[in-house]
Amino acid sequence: MEAVNFISHATQSRLRTVLEKVSSIAQHRMDGGKDEEWFEQSADVRSQLKFFEQLERIEKQRKDEQEREILLKAAKMQQQEMALVRQRDANLTALAAIGPRKKRKVDSPGATPSGTEVSGSSVGSPGASSSPSTSSQRQRQRITRVNLRDFIFYMEQERETAHSLLLYRALLK
């Protein structure tokens, strides 16, 4: 049972790395990389290393940008909360300065002095509507489409699959 679990985890890990690499290759292609440049880069090892370093830098910049956006959103929400607290404190201070309110006498328990009914309004209730900031916090995953050409390029780069029968069969398709 332990051997099956170990093989399962190893396979899952390997598949995850393969998919990440193929996805980054497809992402580069989608971002405007030309096919001629793409396959010329596979010929020179130095250019391959530079290419993958560039991909890593781009990925790191993207992750840093996402972190920065998350921090900015959190800071904005914190500022909004602080503004609400200040407004509430100002309102309480103003009410305290005015003094205690005198209650009006009501003719009947369910009616207001003007005789109109007051219905429950959702304007003042905090849970009445979902704030737009909570829906914008959800991050949409970017979908990257990987095609056979991307996978063939990846297989050409890997030492284990560069001369495999599977690669040659894929090239014939």
pLDDT tier at 80 (50, 70, 90 boundaries)?
Answer: very high
Q: Which residues contact 144 (CB under 8 A, 6 or more apart)?
A: 23, 26, 27, 30
DSSP state letters, 59-121:
HHHHHHHHHHHHHHHHHHHHHHHHHHHHHHHHHHHHHHHH-PPPPPP-SSTT--TTS---PPP
pLDDT value at 46 more than 60: yes
CA distance 91 to 97: 10
Question: What integer is the mean pLDDT of 144-162?
Answer: 87
Place of tokens 């849970």: 127
Residue 173: its pLDDT value, please? 77
| Domains in the chain: boundaries | 2-96+138-172
Q: Please check the confidence at residue 34 and state whether its pLDDT lies above 60.
A: no
Which pairs count as long-range contacts for 155-160, CB under 8 Å and 24+ apart, including other chains? 156/42, 157/42, 157/48
Query: Residue 144: its pLDDT value, please?
Result: 79
Question: Does the pLDDT of residue 78 top 90, yes or no?
Answer: yes
Query: Averaged over 3-23, what is the pLDDT?
Result: 90
Say yes or no to pLDDT of 62 above 70: yes
Q: Could you identify the residue written with the tokens 């200040």?
A: 86
**pLDDT, greater one: 139 or 90:** 90
What's the pTM?
Answer: 0.35
d(CA 37, CA 43): 10
Question: What is the structure's pLDDT at 128?
Answer: 46
Please check whether residue 29 is in contact with residue 150, taking contact to mean a CB–CB distance below 8 angstroms.
yes
Using one digit for the tens of pLDDT, what is the confidence trace for 103-145? 667 665 555 554 444 444 444 444 444 455 555 556 677 777 8
CA separation for the pair 85, 127 (Å, rounded) = 17
Which residue would you say has higher pLDDT here, 83 or 52? 83
Contact 48, 42 (CB under 8 A): yes
CA distance 64 to 70: 10
